[in-house]
Amino acid sequence: MTILRALFFAAVAAAIAQSFAALALTLARTESLHAARAAARDALGAAPVTVQQIVASRIALGSDPLAAIAPVVSCASLGALPCALRTTTSVALRPSGAGAILQNNAIVAEARIDVSLRSVVTDSAGSAVVVAHRLALLRTFAEAPYATYEGDAESAGIAPSSLTAGTLVDVIYRNAKSGASIPGNVWSTAPAAQPSLTPWPQ
């Protein structure tokens, strides 16, 4: 009986120890997941402004604003482990048709760029823990400030690469006689009027 009782308590103790080990593993995984999500959120939060600065400097120098941008890599600690999580954020740029009304003056030459961001957070073994995406929108100009971060395309209600309304407040003027309309918040290049030539008096 004593041996059976000892075996019973040993089995109970082993089960409890196994439960605590499983709980500790679950807590560690949960902590790692929360830290990975925070790392991805931080990377995606900082990326649009970084891309905006790169694009602005390219336009100022006369180079291609849509040229490839190298992935941005950062590290995050997990507990006492430095750089336990590695975040790699890739960037893809493409011309955007979002926002039907642009500042199309020849000097301003406004355009839009979709910025597709993808952050992958990996652990020390190289396994992906979190993959997150963000789609941002840039406005570009031929003059300073050259590029501005407009916000997220989805949250701003802008369909990427479409002709839906953008973030501008559209003021439309309508000609009372002809019925023609023109947006009042767009500075367009006015066509040069041809001077009328009159003969020199004899």
Q: Is residue 150 part of a domain?
A: yes
Q: Is residue 70 part of a domain?
A: yes
Q: Is residue 188 part of a domain?
A: no
Q: Which of 57-61, 121-125, 158-162, 176-180 reaches the highest mean pLDDT?
A: 57-61
> Does residue 182 contact residue 173 with C-beta atoms inside 8 Å?
yes
Residue 45 has pLDDT above 80, yes or no: yes
CA gap 130, 34 in Å, rounded: 10
- Per-residue confidence band for 151, with pLDDT thresholds at 50, 70 and 90: confident
User: Which tokens sit at 163?
Assistant: 């002709």
Q: Tens digit of pLDDT for each residue in 8-40?
A: 556 666 666 665 455 444 545 667 778 888 888
- Our count of domains for the chain comes to 1
Q: What is the pLDDT of residue 94?
A: 92
Q: Is residue 79 part of a domain?
A: yes
Q: Is residue 170 part of a domain?
A: yes
Task: Provide the 3-class DSSP secondary structure of residue 145.
Answer: coil
Greater confidence (196 vs 160) lies with 196
| Domain around 94 | 2-183
